[in-house]
Structure formats: C-alpha cells, structure tokens
Amino acid sequence: MNKRTKSKGRTNAEAYEFYKEHIRSGIDPKTLKSIADIPSPASPTFLGKLVGLWKSRYGRRQDTIDHWRLNDTNPSLADTIAKEILVARTRAHNALYLTLPDLPASQFAIAQVQLASPPVEVSTLVDVPSYGPSFLSLWADAKSQGLSDEECAQSILRWRCHEPVGWLRDDERKAKSCRFWTGR
C-alpha cells in the first residue's frame, strides 16, 4: 500500500470545494463593507487590521490543507505527497520575505494580538508560513510595484477577497453538467 492510500482525509477535490465555499462565504457584500474600513497608515490599528485581513484568508488555507493541527475531527488532505510538495514550495517562497513594513513600532503589538487570537501556525510576522503567501510577501510585492501604504492595504484586501477565474469556470461547468442530468 503506498503513502497516498494509507492516509485518511479529504481528497484534493473535496479540499478545493471546502476552501472555495469558505472563502466565498467571507466575501459577501456585508462582510466586505465591514472589512473594507481600513484605517489610515498613521492609525495605531492600521497594521493590525491588515494582519487580520491576511489571517482570515490564510487561516482558511491552513484549515483546508492541514486541519488536524486545529481539530482532529475534520481531517487534512489525504494526498500527503501533494501536501508536502505544496508546503515545501510555499515555505521556500515565503522564506524570501523577512523584511517588516516600515511602519511605527507601536503598530506591531496590535498585529501580534491579531496573530494570536485565534492562532494560526505563525506567531510573528517574520515566521515563515506554510500554507499560502505570507503577509510580508504580499506587502513586499505591493511595495515593489511602487504602491503607497494605503495602496498596499488595498492590495492585501483584494488578495483577501479574490475569487479566482477558475472558480467561475468550475461553477459554469457544474451548472452545464447539471442541465444534462435527468436524474435517471
């Protein structure tokens, strides 16, 4: 028996649907309005708000890929080889980004509180996350485009709310196949 068939857990397709459903549930208009109120970069809560936005999407990715860390009643991916490859690739990418934003030091304490409650796998911004882009990689990517701090915040908000085009194609394909299903 190989490694792929020994493990219990979600199939890749089940994990994909789980993640898609949970992300979509967090981007309804009511939620978007409440999270879009990002304070100015001078506000003591600016970085904390952004880290909270990042953490909400990142936490869903962690939950989808490796749920056992939080709750062993809802298993992680059964395809352990794919999970190991994904984690290694993601960590290698995130390890390139360890520079903190040039923001007032007082903002980092609030950001730490955001990371701690409820916890994700990282406890500081310079820890290297395993399940998706790090906050620092998103910030650095936005800054490399010459964006202001306000524009970087909007970039992180867009990442938090992004719905990939592939999701829409999948929905269309499913709808199309359901129209041809007669139920017999």
| Token digits of residue 161 | 């709310």
Q: Which residues of the chain have pLDDT under 50?
A: 1-6, 70, 184
Record the tokens describing residue 117, joined without a space: 């409650």
CA-closest candidate to residue 50, choices 100, 93, 114: 114
Write the burial class of residue 82 (CB in 10 Å: 0-12 exposed, 13-18 middle, 19+ buried). middle
**What tens digit of pLDDT does each residue of 78-124 get?**
888 989 999 999 999 999 999 999 999 999 999 999 998 888 899 99
> What is the pLDDT at residue 70?
47
The pTM is what? Answer: 0.83
Report the amino acid identity of residue 26: G
CB 15 within 8 A of CB 53: no
Q: Rounded to the nearest 5 degrees, what angle is found at the Cα of 137, between the Cα atoms of 131 and 143?
A: 155
